[in-house]
Amino acid sequence: MDGVLVIDKPAGMTSHDVVDRIRKTFKTRKVGHAGTLDPDATGVLILGIGRATRFLAYSQTAPKRYEAVARFGITTSTQDASGEVISEAEATFTEDDLRDALDGFRGEIEQIPPMVSAVKVGGERLYKKARRGEEVERAARKVTISDLDLRAFVPGANPEATLDVTCSGGTYVRTLVHDLGDALGCGAHLVILRRTEAGGFTVEDAIPLDDVVPESLRPLADSVRQLQHRTPSAEDAEHIRHGRAVAPEDLDAEEGAFVAFVKDGDLLAVYRREGDRLRPDRVVSS
């Protein structure tokens, strides 16, 4: 059994909880997910079953889109509503001030991963250290915010803003909100997070977890939906099945780009451009 599930993850469950539920539904241990969502977050969670688990990395590193609600004037220990309040400050900025501040967070920026993240430091995940009350130094990481738009603004003692965020894989939206609060001089934390797009799928494609049935499984090729797809010639298809390099005459992928070879609806492999050839990155085992 190989394929992809696109789940609308409910609040109150970890991504691993969802994986466990699907393992029981499909009676298989070979289930993985492409990109963790925090327990309080909802939205698009892509799961792979069987051979699809080998191809989830392409969705995991691909850009994602979120709807995020930020509350200003309050900073928490986890950068979201689940943490303890550690500081409060008066939020006196205007909507125009907020729009100006957003300009500083578009494009390539640096983020320091939060302590409640799965990043490993010293061989241990940060959230395990955080549970023991430890705070360790973390190296900043470069991420890209390709779109950051203000959808709604509610003024008040603790103003709230609804943000539409499109960002590179590995971006922490809670940290984006936290840093935005710092830029405005009053602090902020994430109140609501919903992933609206990932891996070429939107929330309209997603199925509520309680509604998942075996017929919900999408084909293996959907595990690389966001990649460029090509239909190989019969000759190239034979080479691809054996993991040999190919050089299509109409090669139009950029250097280093991934290309999914699909024939008659079946995923054969994902290749990567190196010079004037495409070389195998992952081949579907027969």
Q: 40 catalytic, yes or no?
A: no
> What is the end-to-end Cα distance of the chain in Å, rounded?
13
Nearest to 167, CA basis, from 184, 179, 159: 179
| Rounded Cα distance, 149 and 160, in Å | 14
Helix, coil or strand: residue 224: helix
Instruction: Give the 3-state secondary structure of residue 250.
Output: coil
Residue 116 near residue 126 (C-beta atoms within 8 A) = yes
Task: For the chain, state the CA radius of gyration.
Answer: 21
Beta strand residue intervals within 10-130, DSSP E? 31-33, 42-49, 64-72, 74-76, 85-88, 107-111, 120-121, 124-125
Q: Hey, which bits of 132-256 come out as E strands?
A: 141-154, 160-167, 188-198, 201-202, 207-208, 228-230
Look up residue 26 and give its two tokens. Answer: 């499909």
Q: How far is CA 100 from the centre of its chain?
A: 26
Among the listed residues 2, 8, 38, 179, the single catalytic one is: 38
Is the distance from CB of 115 to CB of 176 less than 8 angstroms? Answer: no
What would the two tokens of residue 95 be?
């909507």
Cα 93 to chain centroid, rounded = 31
92: left (phi over 0), alpha (psi -120 to 50) or beta: alpha
Catalytic residues: 38
